[in-house]
């Protein structure tokens, strides 16, 4: 968790300051294998748990025969709904008070294939695997609803909170001279992080320690505490590194409850790691979605009305809403608008958050539809976007805090060479390859929340930062080191950032691209107050060499303290602390409102109820981007290869451009996978995902990815965060799939409205 | 995973003897076997490790033939200069197979013996019915997800696709599998599912592949392997073709043609009808396209795999035309 003494970057190139291109400080530990992930902890007496999952999609468990498993070598216990200890239901992530009923993480009532029904704990992992295969479960099966296209699925439940309407959308559509209407579908997609989900749970009395990859230590610790009815303080979550989450590691899940129950019942630490196939049913990926987008426009392509209807699937007993009108309602200026959404229950695990939930499928709809409109009216797809440019938030009717989307279009088009595009489909080719150029925009709201951090200046002059936030590869360790270094006046090398322990000062969820903005703000505040204390001591302590100077301020830079004019003493921070007899200085900083109560703080860090709306106050805050993508489609084979990507992005001020660019590229790569490869395929008779492994669920390989050019067009946005940044991590995936679909249309003349765009859809 | 015993064979004979015992399986690179053990499909009682046996990893290429030891690694064979020059289709088939890591582990013998990727075959806990795994239990794939299943060589008992690439090139060039003293043509080594899909290879317990031999030929020298798939790398073929061609002295008339298909059939599929239709003819695009349609004669689909019937002839035609161009 602690990254020590690693030289990174060269102070002379400014990499160490906020905004510098410092390389990831945790990189060497990860590359050399020194980084210890949660389930790699070596604990005395560790036992191993393996899950048994339902093989039907709907029905009831009739009986579980555990005799053979119990008799198998090394088996310590077999947990079933009947034998596992009873837990209390925990509040959801909004903190809504839960129903007062027990919670059992092993199911008797089956609502999807792959639901946990039993678990075997043994001395070794192999013994647990072997015994788990001996657990015999019999079922009373009932008919299931497989997916959105199931005849029994129906229209679903209207979600009124998702309704957005202004003007007379239907009327304006009916009278518009140009009308387009099309349906766009996205399949189940999976986060597929390299590190599968898993944990080690250990009880000492009524104190629980959980080592688990987590995007939200405090939220998950609260859930464990509520399940077991122990105080929040009794649960410690440790999550020093996370091997990818993409939204899937923010909540404590039923497998975690099983492991913690097993540890408690057994009085031994228990490790449980999902197999790769289990990661497809143990928690939810992105919900499958259906949208219809109708646009009414005049002959110049100016939009008069947008009518949008969306549906996403959810599970039988959980409610997941994937906000499908989120981009539809803000991307273009339209006088009349209507968006509504239903949610349909199917026999699947409850879907969950996956990189840009809502915005991602929403953009696939509207950004494909606007391309269709462009062809309908015969206007360049870039030009039609500019003609309908929204000068303010069309929904909230507020000014944008910053919106560099016009700049993104201009810069991206210029670098891509968009002006050379011939508009006719199938008009560009190279031998058997049809070439297509597509454009699409993306956006993601600035989600703001609060965080706290401790900054300590230690006796040796080094600086320590602590926070319970996490780094799943996005660069928290690095940018917090840069923030503390710049604020205190030391080298980034001399800052040690400690994350991933719920004992540290608290942080909310690492999701919604909010963490960098939140935590740089908190560290900036803590570091500023640590610096004030340091300078205060130097000026006022009689033992300080600066005491005689009678200065009213001092300068700290590169770990040394001096007077602003350079006269008088020049001592290191270590020397000063020694002279005044202090072994450290410590300051806590948080971004909570000053009058916050302890209850407010607890709620803020353990639920998402207190996140600030992005339209709070006078402004509407979002990141923006424009993707320009070239594809080559083999005319005979229908294979699509992305050959060029230029994306211009507005994430406001970048705390570290190198890391932001990596995040953007990662989002674009994931978008290429979404557009061309990713799809959970369901056996309709069994309601089961059959391509539940990484040989059959395809994510892009290096060979699928061309050079990607990303260009920052952002400017500091102080309405969005303390230091001027907007969200980075989720933005870039939004709009990639429609840009590719639009390029495929340009190449082939075929409009593919169902993702992914696989070869059989084009031959 | 169940307990099993592990035995390092001291010689080929010892390996054969050990492998003849019930529940014993040969272990080469392990990339298929360990994977299937994890899925609960392979449950060996004894693993007979042959990886350290001497003299089985050679690659000998002469004017007459290439003899490749069963323990030669996929990566080594793909990269062998003489294989590349005299049997380009073999090298290309291997390069486009699996991933670099797997090619560095996996052996040629193991490669021929790899099992189908039928998802139902690989998930016994959820799909007990699978004739290949449990003769007589039924076939879960028929009526299910069939996007990756075969359209050629199927039976009512099984429609599983043979997923390998190398064997497609081998069957095109009449390679022979050496089982110690005895030899079997590759085309006969792979069996059609018929009513016994559990039997995939003409090899008995106690037999072991020691080498494969590919006769040298002009058509092997002028050959290619074209593999089509959605993902550019690390994916099994949607359809593939191994093609070799030899022209008469005029450089246009086809003297010999070899065509085999991958990704579409229950075994590596030699397309003799295409060969016969074009042999003796002048290579000409329309004739090639028309003849290539014969590659899928007799194909039947199961819905989602219908595209393979469209795709395979196009792959064949492209590969033949490509070989014609390089005249
Ligand atoms: C994710 C993934 C993707 C893949 N993609 C491709 C692909 O695109 N194209 C492709 O062609 N292949 C592909 N493969 C398959 C791969 O090529 C095979 O797994 C590999 O060649 C097997 O060789 P091995 O030495 O590891 O065999 P092992 O796993 O050791 O053995 C496989 C089987 O062969 C038997 N066996 C081994 N050696 C002998 C012998 N000498 N005589 C008799 N029996 C023997 C074993 O008992 C076992 O039953 C892929 C595999 C994976 C896991
Ligand atoms: S296709 Fe063959 S391997 Fe697949 S389930 Fe049917 S019998 Fe088994």
Q: What is the DSSP string of B160-208?
A: PPP--SHHHHHHHTT-EEEETTEEEEHHHHB---TT-TT--BS--TT--
Contact A356, A364 (CB under 8 A): no
Provide DSSP, A686-748: TTEES--STTTS----GGG---EEEEE-----TTT-TTSB---TTGGGTTHHHHHHHHHHHHH
Contact A110, A117 (CB under 8 A): yes
- pLDDT tens digits, one per residue of B134-163: 999 999 999 999 999 999 999 999 999 999
Global model pTM greater than 0.90: yes
Chain B hits for A675, CB-CB cut-off 8 Å, are none
- pLDDT tens digits, one per residue of A178-222: 999 999 999 999 999 999 999 999 999 999 999 999 999 999 999
Paired strand residues for A725: A652
* A 119-178: CB under 8 A from B: 126, 129-130, 133
Instruction: Quickly tell me which residue has 């309602």 as its tokens.
Output: A329
Q: How many CB pairs under 8 A join A and B?
A: 86
- pLDDT tens digits, one per residue of B188-221: 999 999 999 999 999 998 999 999 999 999 999 9
Paired strand residues for A48: A122, A271
- β A336-345/A303-314 pair status: parallel
What is the spatial distance between Cα B21 and Cα A532, in angstroms, rounded to a whole number?
A: 79
Kindly state the DSSP code that residue A232 receives in the 8-state scheme. Answer: G
Which chain B residue shows the shortest CA-CA distance from A643?
B232
Nearest C-alpha neighbor of A185 from the set A16, A368, A388? A368
Cβ B230–A676 below 8 Å, yes or no?
yes
So what CATH class is A5-35+448-606?
Answer: alpha beta
Interaxial angle between packed helices A515-540 and A476-488, expressed in degrees from 0 to 180 and rounded to the nearest 10: 30
- β A270-273/A47-53 pair status: parallel
Contact B101, B74 (CB under 8 A): no
Tokens standing for residue A3: 């990254």
User: What is residue A551's predicted lDDT score, i.e. its pLDDT?
Assistant: 79
Catalytic one of A40, A464, A730, A760: A730
Kindly state the DSSP code that residue A528 receives in the 8-state scheme. Answer: H
Distances (CA, A) of A55 to A469, A688, B39: 37, 8, 15
Cβ B230–A763 below 8 Å, yes or no?
no
- pLDDT tens digits, one per residue of A619-652: 999 999 999 999 999 999 999 999 999 999 999 9
State mean pLDDT over A292-298.
98
Contact B190, B267 (CB under 8 A): yes
pLDDT band of residue B326 (cuts 50, 70, 90) is low
Tally of CB atoms within 10 A around A334:
24
Does A599 contact chain B (CB < 8 Å)?
A: no
Cβ A703–B233 below 8 Å, yes or no?
yes
Contact A111, A53 (CB under 8 A): no
First to last CA, chain A: 51
Strand positions, DSSP E, A574-660: 584-590, 619-620, 622-634, 640-650
Cβ A677–B127 below 8 Å, yes or no?
no
Of the options 3.40.190.180, 3.10.450.30, 3.30.70.980, 3.30.365.10, the CATH number for the domain spanning A358-446+615-761: 3.30.365.10
In Å, how far from its chain's centre is CA A551?
48
Which residues 6+ apart lie within 8 Å of B17 measured at CB?
B206
Nearest to A701 among B2, B228, B234 (CB): B234
Topology at the third CATH level for domain A39-143+195-280:
Aldehyde Oxidoreductase; domain 4 (3.30.365)
**Angle value at C-alpha A471, between A467 and A472, nearest 5 degrees:** 150
A452 is catalytic: no
Contact B232, B315 (CB under 8 A): no
State mean pLDDT over A649-675.
97
Contact A333, A366 (CB under 8 A): no
| Closest-CA distance of chain A to residue B78, Å | 18
Does A686 contact chain B (CB < 8 Å)?
A: yes
What is the spatial distance between Cα A400 and Cα A49, in angstroms, rounded to a whole number?
A: 51
pLDDT band of residue A552 (cuts 50, 70, 90) is confident
Tokens standing for residue A609: 């109820």
Contact B117, A695 (CB under 8 A): yes
A361, HSE (Cβ side, Cα atoms, 13 Å): 33
- Taking each continuous run of H as one helix and of E as one strand, the counts in chain A are 15, 34
| Closest-CA distance of chain A to residue B137, Å | 17
**Does residue B25 sit in helix, strand or coil?**
strand
Span from the CA of A170 to the centroid of ligand 1 (angstroms): 60
Nearest C-alpha neighbor of B322 from the set B224, B180, B228, B203? B224
Q: Using CA atoms of B248, B254, B260, B263 in order, give the dihedral in degrees to the nearest 10.
A: 120
Chain B hits for A277, CB-CB cut-off 8 Å, are 123
* Intervals of CATH 3.30.390.50 along chain B: 218-325
Sheet arrangement for strand A433-445? A429-430, A433-445, A622-634, A640-650, A708-712
A414, HSE (Cβ side, Cα atoms, 13 Å): 8
CATH number of B5-49: 3.30.43
Q: Is A432 exposed, middle or buried (0-12, 13-18, 19+ CB in 10 A)?
A: middle
Q: What is the mean pLDDT of chain A?
A: 95
Span from the CA of B138 to the centroid of ligand 2 (angstroms): 8
Contact A278, B126 (CB under 8 A): no
- β A178-186/A198-204 pair status: unpaired
Cβ B127–A685 below 8 Å, yes or no?
no
What is the spatial distance between Cα A370 and Cα A374, in angstroms, rounded to a whole number?
A: 6
Instruction: Quickly tell me which residue has 């950004």 as its tokens.
Output: A367
Q: Report phi then psi at A39, rounded to 5.
A: -85, 5
Contact A332, A710 (CB under 8 A): no
Q: Using CA atoms of B286, B288, B290, B295 in order, give the dihedral in degrees to the nearest 10.
A: -160
- pLDDT tens digits, one per residue of A297-331: 999 999 999 999 999 999 999 999 999 999 999 99
Cβ A690–B238 below 8 Å, yes or no?
no
Which residues form ligand 2's pocket by a CB distance below 6 Å? B 116, 118, 120-121, 130-132, 139-141, 158-160, 197
pLDDT band of residue A362 (cuts 50, 70, 90) is very high
Q: Report phi then psi at B247, rounded to 5.
A: -100, 155
Does A688 contact chain B (CB < 8 Å)?
A: yes
* Radius of gyration for the alpha carbons in chain A, expressed in angstroms and rounded: 27
Instruction: Quickly tell me which residue has 């696989």 as its tokens.
Output: A758
> B-side interface with A, Cβ within 8 Å?
1-3, 40, 117, 119-120, 123, 125-127, 143-145, 147, 228-235, 238, 307, 310-311, 314-315, 317-318
Outline where A102-153 has alpha helix (H): 125-132
Ligand 1 contact, A695 CB (< 6 A): yes
Distances (CA, A) of A242 to A283, A403, A500, B100: 17, 32, 9, 26
Q: To test ligand 1's pocket by mutation, which of B21, B100, B113 has the most ligand atoms within 8 angstroms of CB?
A: B113
pLDDT at A701 over 80: yes
What is the spatial distance between Cα B185 and Cα B202, in angstroms, rounded to a whole number?
A: 10
- pLDDT tens digits, one per residue of A43-62: 999 999 999 999 999 999 99
Ligand 2 nearest atom to the CA of residue B119, by list position: 4
Span from the CA of A759 to the centroid of ligand 1 (angstroms): 27
Q: Report phi then psi at A611, rounded to 5.
A: -60, 145
- Closest residue CA from atom 52 of ligand 1: B98
User: What is residue A13's predicted lDDT score, i.e. its pLDDT?
Assistant: 52
Which chain B residue shows the shortest CA-CA distance from A124?
B1
pLDDT at A405 over 90: yes
What is the spatial distance between Cα A667 and Cα A679, in angstroms, rounded to a whole number?
A: 17
State mean pLDDT over A370-380.
98
What is the spatial distance between Cα A430 and Cα B14, in angstroms, rounded to a whole number?
A: 57
Nearest to A677 among B144, B231, B238 (CB): B231
Contact A568, A576 (CB under 8 A): no
Span from the CA of B70 to the centroid of ligand 1 (angstroms): 11
Nearest C-alpha neighbor of B26 from the set B206, B229, B275, B269? B206
Q: Is B94 exposed, middle or buried (0-12, 13-18, 19+ CB in 10 A)?
A: buried
Span from the CA of B108 to the centroid of ligand 2 (angstroms): 25
Contact B207, B179 (CB under 8 A): yes
* Intervals of CATH 3.30.43 along chain B: 5-49
- pLDDT tens digits, one per residue of A112-168: 999 999 999 999 999 999 999 999 999 999 999 999 999 999 999 999 999 999 999
Which of A563-567, B96-100, B231-235, B263-267 comes out lowest in average pLDDT? Answer: A563-567
**Does residue B66 sit in helix, strand or coil?**
strand
- pLDDT tens digits, one per residue of A241-284: 999 999 999 999 999 999 999 999 999 999 999 999 999 999 99
Domains A39-143+195-280 and A358-446+615-761 share a fold: yes
**CATH superfamily, domain at B218-325:** CO dehydrogenase flavoprotein, C-terminal domain (3.30.390.50)
User: What is residue A4's predicted lDDT score, i.e. its pLDDT?
Assistant: 38
Contact A133, A75 (CB under 8 A): no
Nearest ligand to the CA atom of B43 = 1
């Amino acid at each position: 968790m602690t990254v020590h003494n690693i030289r990174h970057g060269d102070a002379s190139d400014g990499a160490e300051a906020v905004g510098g291109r410092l390389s990831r400080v945790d990189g060497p530990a990860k590359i050399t294998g020194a980084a210890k992930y949660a389930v790699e902890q070596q604990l005395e007496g560790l036992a191993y748990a393996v899950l048994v999952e339902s093989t039907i999609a709907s029905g009831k468990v009739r009986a579980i025969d555990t005799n053979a498993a119990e008799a198998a070598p090394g088996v310590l216990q077999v947990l079933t709904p009947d034998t596992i200890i009873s837990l209390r239901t925990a509040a959801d992530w909004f903190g809504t008070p839960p129903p007062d009923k027990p919670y059992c993480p092993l199911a008797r009532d089956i609502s999807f294939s792959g639901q946990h029904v039993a678990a075997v704990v043994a001395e070794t992992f192999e013994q647990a695997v072997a015994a788990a295969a001996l657990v015999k479960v019999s079922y009373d099966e009932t008919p299931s609803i497989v997916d959105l296209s199931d005849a029994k699925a129906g229209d679903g439940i209207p979600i009124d909170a998702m309704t957005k309407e202004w003007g007379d959308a239907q009327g304006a559509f009916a009278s518009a001279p140009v009308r387009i209407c099309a349906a766009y579908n996205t399949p189940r997609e999976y986060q597929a992080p390299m590190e599968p989900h898993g944990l080690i749970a250990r009880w000492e009395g009524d104190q629980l320690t959980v080592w688990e990859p987590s995007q939200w230590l405090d939220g998950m610790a609260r859930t464990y505490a509520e399940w077991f009815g122990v105080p929040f303080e009794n649960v410690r979550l440790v999550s020093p590194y996370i091997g990818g989450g993409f939204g899937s590691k923010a909540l404590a899940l039923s497998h975690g409850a099983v492991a913690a129950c097993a540890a408690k019942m057994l009085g031994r630490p228990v490790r449980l790691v999902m197999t790769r196939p289990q990661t497809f049913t143990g928690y939810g990926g992105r919900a499958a979605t259906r949208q219809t987008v109708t646009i009414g426009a005049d002959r110049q392509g100016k939009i008069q009305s947008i009518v949008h209807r969306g549906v996403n699937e959810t599970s039988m007993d959980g409610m997941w809403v994937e906000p499908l009108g989120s981009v539809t309602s803000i991307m273009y200026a339209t006088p009349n608008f209507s968006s509504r959404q239903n949610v349909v229950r199917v026999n699947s695990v409850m879907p969950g958050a996956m990189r840009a939930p809502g915005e991602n499928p929403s953009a696939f709809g509207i950004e494909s539809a606007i391309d269709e409109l462009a062809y309908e009216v015969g206007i360049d797809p870039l030009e039609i976007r500019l003609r309908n440019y929204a000068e303010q938030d069309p929904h909230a009717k507020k000014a944008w805090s910053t919106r560099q989307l016009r700049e993104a279009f201009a810069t991206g088009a210029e670098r891509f060479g968009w002006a050379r595009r011939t508009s006719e489909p199938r008009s560009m080719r190279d031998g058997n390859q049809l070439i297509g150029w597509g454009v699409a925009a993306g956006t993601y709201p600035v989600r703001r929340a609060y965080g706290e951090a401790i900054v300590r200046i230690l006796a040796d002059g080094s600086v320590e930062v602590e926070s319970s936030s996490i780094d799943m590869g996005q660069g928290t360790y690095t940018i917090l080191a840069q923030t503390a270094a710049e604020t205190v006046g030391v080298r980034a090398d001399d800052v040690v950032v400690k994350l991933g322990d719920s004992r540290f000062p608290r942080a909310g969820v690492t999701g919604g691209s909010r963490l960098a903005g939140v935590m740089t703000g908190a560290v900036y505040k803590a570091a500023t107050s640590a610096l004030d204390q340091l300078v205060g001591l130097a000026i006022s302590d009689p033992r300080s060499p600066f005491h005689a100077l009678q200065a009213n301020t001092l300068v700290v830079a590169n770990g040394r303290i001096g007077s602003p004019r350079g006269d008088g003493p020049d001592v290191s921070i270590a020397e000063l602390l020694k002279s005044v007899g202090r072994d450290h200085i410590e300051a806590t900083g948080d971004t909570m409102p000053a009058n916050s109560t302890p209850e407010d703080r607890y709620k803020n860090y353990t639920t998402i109820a207190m996140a600030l709306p992005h339209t709070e106050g006078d402004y509407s805050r979002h990141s923006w981007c424009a993707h320009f993508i070239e594809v080559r489609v083999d005319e005979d084979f229908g294979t699509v290869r992305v050959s060029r990507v230029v994306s211009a992005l507005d994430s406001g001020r970048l705390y570290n451009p190198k890391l932001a660019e990596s995040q953007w590229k990662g989002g674009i790569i994931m978008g290429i996978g979404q557009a061309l490869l990713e799809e959970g395929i369901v056996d309709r008779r069994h309601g089961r995902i059959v391509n539940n492994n990484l040989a059959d669920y395809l994510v892009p390989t290096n060979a699928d990815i061309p050079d990607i050019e990303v260009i920052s067009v952002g400017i500091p946005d102080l309405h969005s965060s303390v230091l001027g940044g907007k969200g980075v991590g989720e933005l870039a995936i939004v709009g990639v799939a429609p840009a590719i679909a639009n390029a495929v249309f340009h190449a082939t003349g075929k409009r593919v409205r169902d993702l992914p765009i696989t070869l059989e859809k084009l031959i | 995973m169940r307990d099993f015993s592990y035995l390092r064979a001291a010689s080929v004979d010892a390996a054969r003897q050990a492998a003849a015992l019930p529940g014993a399986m040969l272990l080469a690179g392990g990339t298929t076997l360990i994977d299937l053990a994890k899925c609960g499909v392979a449950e060996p009682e004894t693993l007979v490790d042959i990886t350290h046996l001497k003299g089985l990893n050679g690659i000998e290429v002469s004017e007459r033939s290439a003899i490749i030891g069963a323990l030669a690694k996929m990566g080594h064979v793909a990269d062998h200069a003489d294989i590349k020059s005299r049997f380009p289709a073999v090298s290309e088939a291997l390069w486009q197979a699996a991933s670099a890591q797997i090619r560095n582990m996996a052996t040629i013998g193991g490669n021929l013996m790899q099992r189908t990727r039928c998802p139902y075959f690989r998930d016994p806990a959820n799909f007990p019915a699978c004739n290949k795994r449990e003769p007589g239990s039924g076939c879960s794939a028929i009526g299910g997800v069939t996007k990756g299943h075969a359209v050629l060589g199927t039976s009512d008992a099984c429609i599983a696709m043979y997923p390998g690439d190398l064997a497609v090139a081998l069957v095109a060039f009449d390679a022979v599998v050496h089982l110690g003293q005895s030899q079997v043509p590759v085309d006969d080594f792979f069996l059609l599912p018929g009513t016994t899909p559990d039997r995939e290879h003409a090899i008995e317990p106690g037999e072991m592949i020691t080498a494969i031999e590919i006769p040298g030929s002009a058509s092997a020298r002028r050959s290619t392997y074209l593999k089509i798939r959605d993902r550019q790398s690390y994916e099994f073929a949607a359809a593939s073709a191994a093609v070799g061609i030899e022209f008469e002295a005029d450089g246009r008339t086809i003297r010999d043609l070899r065509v085999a298909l991958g990704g579409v059939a229950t075994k590596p599929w030699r397309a003799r009808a295409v060969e016969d239709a074009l042999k003796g003819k002048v290579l000409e695009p329309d004739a090639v396209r028309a003849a290539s349609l014969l590659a899928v004669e007799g194909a039947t689909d199961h819905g989602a795999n219908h595209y393979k019937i469209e795709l395979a002839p196009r792959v064949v035609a492209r590969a033949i035309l490509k070989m014609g161009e390089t005249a």
